[in-house]
Amino acid sequence: MSDLPTLPVTFRPGSTRAVLLTAAVAILIVITTVAMLLKQLSPAERLSFVLTALLLDAVLLLLARPKVVADESGVTVVNLTNKRRLEWAEILQVTLRPGDPWVFLNLSDGTSLPVLGIQPGIARQRAIADARALRALAEARSVADERHQS
């Protein structure tokens, strides 16, 4: 049990997030600079350039949002547009099979929940380590819950 992460712990695709946030800043700076340097543009056209950059940034920030927060009582999964709180007992299995785009949680209600906060895209080894850590936490918590109920 000593190899379990200390709770609370947050898992997120750090490298992917860094790339997305850097791209968002770069896009805003470049498009705003171009809008200001093009003298033939009207103020409304300049504003449309900046608004387009902000719209692109909003999409990139949305893509950078996913994370998983594990604490003593359960897990909070934050995906692109939704957030779901799960008790440890609801998580039956944590899986990341070869070729999977992200981790999946098999839940006690018979459904499977994608966890975009752990994805092997840019940092495969990190995602595998995070998936193993989350799996170990879920297994340790389910054993602890069974002991408390006995």
How many domains is the chain built from?
2
Task: State the average pLDDT for the chain.
Answer: 93
Average pLDDT of the segment spanning 72-81: 96
Instruction: Based on the fold, state whether residues 77 and 144 are members of the same structural domain.
Output: yes
Residues 45 and 71 reside in one and the same domain: no
Task: Tell whether 1 is covered by a domain.
Answer: no
Where a domain ends, among 48, 64, 80? 64
Looking at residue 13, its pLDDT comes to: 92
- pLDDT score of 149: 56
Q: Which of 24, 43, 64 is the last residue of a domain?
A: 64
Q: What is the pLDDT of residue 147?
A: 56
What is the mean pLDDT of the segment spanning 32-57?
97
The CA–CA distances, whole Å, from 66 to 10, 50, 123 equal 10, 26, 15
Q: 136: exposed, middle or buried (C-beta count within 10 Å: 0-12, 13-18, 19+)? A: middle
- Whether 38 and 82 map to the same domain: the answer is no
pLDDT exceeds cutoff 50 at 1: no
Q: Are residues 25 and 45 in the same domain?
A: yes
pLDDT band at 142 (very low <50, low <70, confident <90, very high): confident
Answer whether residue 52 shows pLDDT above 90: yes
pTM for this prediction: 0.85
Write out the residue range of the structural domain in which residue 28 sits: 14-64
Ranges assigned E (strand) in 50-121: 67-71, 74-78, 83-87, 91-95, 103-107, 112-115
